[in-house]
């Protein structure tokens, strides 16, 4: 009986002690528990070395862990990475995410940075459910270098292919013929250097003559310009003379010719009237041409 009691006490002590230790551990764990906000970022490059629980740093300070990594089903070039970031971390709209490698381990982490060129300090509003606020990404240095190296490699391959085409057998023969022809041309020029010098002297004389003729031609143009100005002035004087002549002629016609013409017309009308009277007298009394016209009868009281 005494042995059974001891086992009971020992078992009860173990149970109580275990319960106490678990309670303390849970209390300590709950007191050290931290709150995280969920963000999402979309990478347009391979995310080698990133997996669940990968480290997230902000300017080198660890601020969280990667919650999930998944491939975009509609566009496999995009990789969605969900981030658990400590609450109250100042994630602004200008913050960008970039992949960085951790030394030579092959593992990578996500580095958050606020570029110096960013002018906005407005914070992203965190959310515990979708849609999560999105942090824009920036191409990593390693990916940029690999892309540029690939581009350089492609250019080198293109240059190599062009060099192969350039140094083909046919092109080498053409280059050799071209060099041979150039050698012949230089030899011919060297053999006729005196003639070439004379030709250059002749060309210089021709150029001097052209220059002199151009000077004379410029003077001729200047003389023509003066002559045209004189003709223009002469035409203006002629126009003035014609206008003056027309004005004087019209004045003379109005002041002299027209009054005389009017008086002539009046005299002609009177002569016509007297002639009509004379003809009427002859028609009525042809003897009047010999005897003369009868005197008019006396009026009453004469």
Q: Return the minimum-mean-pLDDT range out of 86-95, 185-194, 239-248.
A: 239-248
C-alpha of 4 from chain center: 99
Alpha-carbon dihedral angle through residues 251, 254, 257, 260, given to the nearest 10 degrees: -140
What average pLDDT does the segment 142-158 reach?
74
**Would the CA dihedral through 205, 211, 214, 215 be positive or negative?**
negative
pLDDT exceeds 80 at position 109: yes
Note the pLDDT tens digit of each residue in 233-256.
777 777 777 777 667 666 665 676
CA distances from 277 to 151, 280, 282, 297 (A): 128, 5, 9, 18
- Enumerate residues 6+ apart whose C-beta is below 8 A from 139: 44, 45, 98
User: In terms of Cα–Cα distance, which of 75, 64, 128, 119 is closest to 97?
Assistant: 64
What is this structure's pTM?
A: 0.43
Nearest to 99 by CA among 127, 66, 74: 66
Confidence of residue 33 (pLDDT cuts 50, 70, 90): low
End-to-end Cα spacing for the chain: 212
List, for residues 10-20, the tens digit of each pLDDT value: 777 778 878 87
The answer, yes or no, to whether residue 70 has pLDDT greater than 60, is: yes
Residue 80 has pLDDT above 90, yes or no: yes
Give the residue-averaged pLDDT of 96-101. 88
194 against 63, higher pLDDT: 63
- Sequence-separated contacts (24+) of 294-299 with Cβ below 8 Å: none
Q: What angle do CA 85, 87, 91 make, to 5 degrees?
A: 65
In the predicted structure, residue 31 carries a pLDDT above the cut 50: no
Give the ranges where the chain is alpha helix by DSSP (H).
Answer: 2-31, 141-166, 169-191, 193-252, 258-284, 288-291
| Averaged pLDDT score across all residues of the chain | 77
Of 79-83, 110-114, 180-184, 237-241, the poorest mean pLDDT is in: 237-241
The pLDDT assigned to 288 comes to 57
């Amino acid at each position: 009986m005494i042995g059974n009691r001891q086992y009971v006490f020992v078992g009860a002590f173990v149970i109580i002690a275990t319960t106490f230790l678990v309670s303390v551990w849970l209390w300590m764990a709950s007191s050290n528990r931290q709150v995280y906000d969920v963000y999402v970022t979309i990478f347009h490059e391979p995310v080698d070395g990133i997996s669940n629980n990968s480290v997230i740093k902000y300017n080198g300070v660890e601020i969280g862990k990667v919650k999930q990594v998944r491939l975009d089903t509609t566009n496999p070039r995009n990789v969605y990475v969900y981030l658990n970031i400590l609450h109250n971390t100042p994630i602004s709209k200008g913050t960008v995410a970039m992949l960085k490698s951790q030394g030579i381990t092959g593992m990578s982490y996500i580095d958050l940075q606020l570029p110096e060129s960013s002018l906005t300090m407005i914070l992203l509003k965190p959310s515990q459910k979708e849609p999560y606020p999105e942090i824009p990404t920036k191409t990593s240095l390693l990916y940029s270098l690999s892309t540029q190296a690939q581009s350089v490699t492609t250019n080198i391959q293109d240059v190599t292919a062009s060099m192969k085409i350039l140094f083909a057998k046919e092109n080498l023969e053409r280059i050799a013929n071209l060099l041979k022809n150039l050698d012949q041309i230089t030899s011919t020029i060297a053999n006729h250097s005196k003639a070439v010098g004379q030709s250059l002297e002749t060309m210089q004389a021709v150029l001097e003559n052209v220059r002199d003729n151009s000077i004379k031609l410029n003077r001729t143009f200047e003389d023509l310009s003066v002559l045209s100005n004189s003709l223009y002035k002469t035409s203006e004087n002629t126009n003035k003379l014609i206008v003056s002549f027309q004005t004087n002629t019209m004045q003379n016609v109005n002041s002299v010719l027209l009054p005389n013409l009017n008086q002539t017309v009046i005299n002609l009308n009177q002569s016509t009237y007297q002639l009509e009277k004379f003809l009427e007298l002859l028609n009525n009394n042809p003897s009047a041409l010999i005897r003369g016209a009868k005197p008019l009868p006396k009026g009453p009281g004469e």
